Structure 1
Amino acid sequence: MNRHLLLLFSLFCLVVEATSLKCVTCHLRTPADHCRRGFGVCHAQKYESCMSLRIYSNNTLQISYMVCQRFCKDLTYNFNNRTYIHKCCDDDFCNFRV
């Protein structure tokens, strides 16, 4: 009986892993090169989406940041002559698209 429960639990874990949202992680990406820090993949948990934060100065992308984010909301604001664009999405690796 225990072997059957273990098999069922393993199958459930595989299904959950296969269906979870996958997002790119990068804690420091510049437009001139690839990710400098924190490159990888995160699996979104309950209430999480893929998130990207892009920071522009004079309409030129300076840096971006990408992670799985809980309770993510789209937001754009200006501060110190920079524009911050916070975007959320729900497709695999959608936060990597520039």
Structure 2
Amino acid sequence: MNKCVLGLFSLFCLIMAAASLKCATCHLQITGERCRRDFGICVAQKDESCMVLKVVYNFSLVLSYMDCQKFCKTGKYAINRRVYRYTCCKSNYCNRLI
């Protein structure tokens, strides 16, 4: 009986891991360089999607940030001469392609 329960639990965990949304993470990437901080993968929880934030200064990409984000909203904000672009998506590793 215990082996059956353990087997079913393992199968459930495997299915949940395969069905979960996976996003790339990088908490600091400067243009033209590799990720400097926290490169990896996050598994999106409930109400989360993949997000990338790109900071543009004088029409040039300065840095980007990728992670799982709760209640993510795609948008663009301008402060001084910097433009902050948030892009959200809901397919595996989609924030690496943006």
Which of the five TM-score ranges fits, normalised by the shorter chain? over 0.9
TM-score normalised by the chain length of structure 1: 0.95
Q: Which runs of 5+ in 1 are unaligned?
A: none
Give the match for residue 2 of structure 1: 2
Matches within 5 A, 1:66-81: 66-81=66-81
CA-based RMSD of the aligned residues comes to 0.9
Structure 1 runs, 4 residues or longer, greater than 4 Å off: none
1:13-58 deviation line (CA, Å, top 9, x unaligned):
0000011111000000011111011100111111110000000011
Letter in 1 for 2:40: G
Counterpart position of 1:49? 49
Instruction: Give 3-state SS (helix, strand or coil) of 1:32's partner.
Output: coil
Displacement, 1:2? Answer: 2.1
1:1-98 equivalence runs, <5 A: 1-98=1-98
Structure 1 vs Structure 2: percent identity of aligned residues? 52
